[in-house]
Amino acid sequence: MDSEKPSSLRGLLTRMVCILFGVVLLYALSEGPAMYIVERFPNSQPLIYYIYFPLGWAKTATSLPWPLQVYDEWWLELALRQEEGRRYQTPPATP
């Protein structure tokens, strides 16, 4: 019985580390859609920037600026293209 206890503890720690890694990864990947929201709805900018302040710090203080910047620019370009497409759509005909 005692030999089972350490392996179950190791399994629990492994799961906790994997979950923590997954949460951090999802947080980092959710910044792109957040930039999309900021571009489409400028009133949400203060809240979004407050939530993603740690990633902004990571961009300036670590070696992560290039991948995160490219990812953010891709989402911003997507929002701009969608907005541009919406501008050039013809309005529906009035009955």
pLDDT digits (tens, 9 = 90+) for 20-67: 999 999 998 998 888 888 888 888 888 888 998 988 888 888 776 788
Is 91 among the domain residues?
no
Is residue 92 situated within a structural domain?
Answer: no
How does residue 89 score in pLDDT terms, banded at 50, 70 and 90? low
- The two tokens of residue 85 are 């497409």
Q: Output the CA angle 57-20-71, nearest 5 degrees.
A: 45
pLDDT at 18: 96
Question: 36 lies in a domain?
Answer: yes
Q: Is residue 44 included in any domain, yes or no?
A: yes
Domain that holds residue 82: 4-86
In a domain, 61, yes or no: yes
Classify residue 93: in a domain, yes or no.
Answer: no
Does residue 95 form part of some domain?
no
The answer to whether position 33 is within a domain reads yes
Number of Cα atoms under 13 Å in the Cβ half of residue 63: 0
Q: How many domains does the chain have?
A: 1
The pTM of this model reads 0.67
